[in-house]
Amino acid sequence: MNNNLFSILKTNFPDDLTTTFLQTRSGRHISYADMLARSAQYASALRALGVGPGDRVAVQVQKSTEALMLYLGAIRAGAAFLPLNTAYTSAEVSYFLGDAEPRVVVCSPSKAGDISNIAGEARVETLGDDGTSGSLLERVDAAPTAFEELPCEADDLAAILYTSGTTGRAKGAMMTHLNLSSNAEALAVTWAFTAEDRLLHALPIYHTHGLFTATNTVLQAGASMIFLPRFDAEEVLERLPQATLMMGVPTFYSRLLACEGLTRDLVKHMRVFISGSAPLSPDIHREFELRTGYAILERYGMTETGMITSNPYDGARRAGTVGFPLPGIEIRIVGAESGEKLGSGEVGDIEVRGPNVFKGYWQMPDKTAEDFREDGFFVTGDLGMIDEQGYLNIVGRDKDLIISGGFNVYPAEIEAAIDELPAVAESAVIGVPHPDFGEGVMAVIACKTGETLDEEAVIASLSDTLARFKQPKRVAFVDALPRNAMGKIQKNELRERYAATFKDPSG
């Protein structure tokens, strides 16, 4: 059996390959036959560029149908797909390329010069933002439209997704063909996907949510999707009547609630609304149900595991919980000190085991060993509790992690960049409540004696080194950062002090 992810998904494609796979904003329909032919051309082009089994293909391009075909082509060619956030700066991308050592890097034409300077031995190809130009596209257009998927073992590498760490050094989570295929199968079953479904896709595709959770599940069911380049609340409202389900981050739903056009009548045909990547506010959950009649289905996952749990499709979707383990996945709550399994209602560390759990961190065997128990359970770093009904409640996480607009932000990386400023004595970066993003990134700075800085100067200094979603939205200045008796900065005190920062409209 060929365990190549694409080969497995292909067994579920419609018998009639003229069935629509994807509809674009302009109204263009791309059939399953079109997708098979175009992704075959990408696979052939990558092979011609020397990409072999397990070779990394790094991609930093805007969302487009061609970018999606590139992902599918890379998987068919047996490569390891490495998507990079389009907001990453050259300084950030330089680390990823140096660490992953890709065979090919694909970027937008406007970034080709900068990427070529940091790509090392990798071949640099371009793909235009609208998917209609670029050196790679010229190769693809000339490639054959048939391609036999490279045979893969279940444990072979299919993708590397970088996730930041508490030390600031990003870690490459190695996802296998089995990780991705098993998760797609579990989600299709749990969310009752059928070939009749049409997903409204307004997520980015450099992230596990939009690339794997959304796209792979659609393919697993032989379904279709409306493929929008980005989320725009008014456009989403316009497209909802054509869809049967939608996936989004909490920010999507808060922005839809701000639109008068969101009514029960508009969405009466919808099957389900799904939320993830960040905690969904119980207030948004309640308001959305009152407004539309639909209880948002919240689920829980990680870069390293794909999706782990989900509120039920049939059954109570309880605000503030993330439901039950997906088929084939085990979770347990253990004591932080004892490591012993805890009972219902007790708070402890969440650990997970299953075919969805990643292979380990790229070139980090010690970190991989540290995060896995001897019996194969992965230590998520999140704190949770399973209630008497069996629902998982996330009650905490790595205390420094900030989730802003669905993106994970680790303060250590930002603090290191701020501390390089000559006038800075020390800094602390925290997340505080934000009405739109869930949490807003905020920096608190103590300047050296006799030195001064202003907020605009600090933010401007980070623009070339940190992606925009990592940059502080506000900066506060203090004479000294609060510390405990052991000299450790008291971030909990800072979070309390600045908790209302973004409640002020001017914030």
Q: Is the pLDDT reported for residue 113 higher than 90? A: yes
**pLDDT value for 488:** 67
pLDDT of 506 over the 60 cut: no
CATH code where residue 482 lies? 3.30.300.30
151: domain CATH number is 3.40.50.980
- pLDDT (tens digit, 9 = 90+) per residue, 252-262? 999 999 999 99
Q: Do residues 305 and 450 both lie within one domain?
A: no
Residue 65 covered by a domain: yes
pLDDT reading at 396 higher than 80 = no
One domain for residues 45 and 148:
yes
The enclosing domain of 290 has a CATH number of 2.30.38.10
- pLDDT for 406 equals 84
pLDDT of residue 167: 55
The DSSP code sequence of 154-171 is TTSEEEEEEE--TTS--E
Task: In whole angstroms, give the CA distance from residue 115 to residue 138.
Answer: 19
Q: Are residues 85 and 41 in the same domain?
A: yes
Q: Is residue 115 part of a domain?
A: yes
Strand pairing category for 324-325 and 306-310: antiparallel
What average pLDDT does the segment 483-499 reach?
Answer: 80
14-47 pLDDT tens trace: 999 999 999 999 999 999 999 999 999 999 999 9
**Same domain as 293, residue 214:** no
SS3 sequence of 4-65: CHHHHHHCCCCCCCCCEEEEECCCCEEEHHHHHHHHHHHHHHHHHCCCCCCCEEEEECCCCH
Q: Which domain holds residue 330?
A: 273-396
Q: Are 23 and 75 within one domain?
A: yes
pLDDT of residue 391: 97
Q: Global pTM?
A: 0.87
Q: What is the mean pLDDT of residues 368-385?
A: 93
Strands of 111-188 (E only): list them: 123-126, 157-163, 171-176
Nearest to 310 by CA among 340, 280, 288, 290: 280
Same domain, 378 and 496: no
Q: Is residue 244 part of a domain?
A: no
* Whether residue 351 is found in the same domain as residue 410: no
Residue 183 belongs to a domain: yes
The answer as to whether 498 is a domain residue is yes
> What gap in Å lies between CA 28 and CA 24, rounded to an integer?
5
- Annotate 203-230 with b (16+ C-beta within 10 A) or e (fewer): bbbbbbbbbbbbbbbbbbbbbbbbbbbe
352 within some domain: yes
**Beta-bridge partners for 426:** 446
- Examine the fold and report which residue of 372, 396, 420 is the final residue of a domain before the chain moves on: 396
Local confidence band at 400 (pLDDT 50, 70, 90 cut-offs): confident
pLDDT score of 434 more than 60: yes
Mark which of 396, 430, 452 sits at the end of a domain.
Answer: 396
Amino acid (one-letter) located at 483? R
Answer yes or no: is pLDDT of 401 > 90: no
Residue 367 phi/psi, 5-degree rounding, is: -65, -40
Based on the fold, state whether residues 165 and 308 are members of the same structural domain: no
> Measured between alpha carbons, how far is 214 from 222 in angstroms, rounded to an integer?
12
Predicted local confidence at residue 279, as pLDDT: 83
Same domain, 178 and 34: yes
Among 396, 420, 440, which residue terminates a domain? 396
Looking at the fold, whether 105 and 200 belong to one and the same domain comes out as: yes
For range 49-67, the mean pLDDT: 97
pLDDT for 507 beyond 70: no
For residues 422-446, one letter each, b for 16 or more C-beta atoms within 10 angstroms of the residue's C-beta and e for the rest, the string is eebebbbbbbbbbeebbbbbbbbbb
pLDDT digits (tens, 9 = 90+) for 236-249: 999 999 999 999 99
Per-residue pLDDT reduced to its tens digit, 213-237: 999 999 999 999 999 999 999 999 9
Q: Are 128 and 51 in contact (CB under 8 A)?
A: no
Domain presence at residue 111? yes
pLDDT at 7 over 90: yes
Lowest-pLDDT range, 65-69, 153-157, 423-427?
A: 423-427
Number of domains in the chain: 3
In a domain, residue 155? The reply is yes
Instruction: Summarize the confidence of residues 164-192 as an average pLDDT.
Output: 90
Distance separating alpha carbons of residues 483 and 34, to the nearest angstrom: 61
Q: What is the mean pLDDT of the chain?
A: 93
Same domain, 457 and 411: yes
**Tens digit of pLDDT for each residue in 287-329?**
999 999 999 999 999 999 999 999 999 999 998 899 999 999 9
Spatial distance between the Cα atoms of 175 and 307, rounded to a whole number of angstroms: 13
CA distance 329 to 81: 24
The greatest distance separating any two alpha carbons of the chain, rounded to the nearest whole angstrom, comes to 74
Same domain for 152 and 33? yes
Helix axes of 32-48 and 65-76: crossing angle, nearest 10 degrees: 60
- 334-347 pLDDT, tens digit per residue, is 987 778 899 999 98
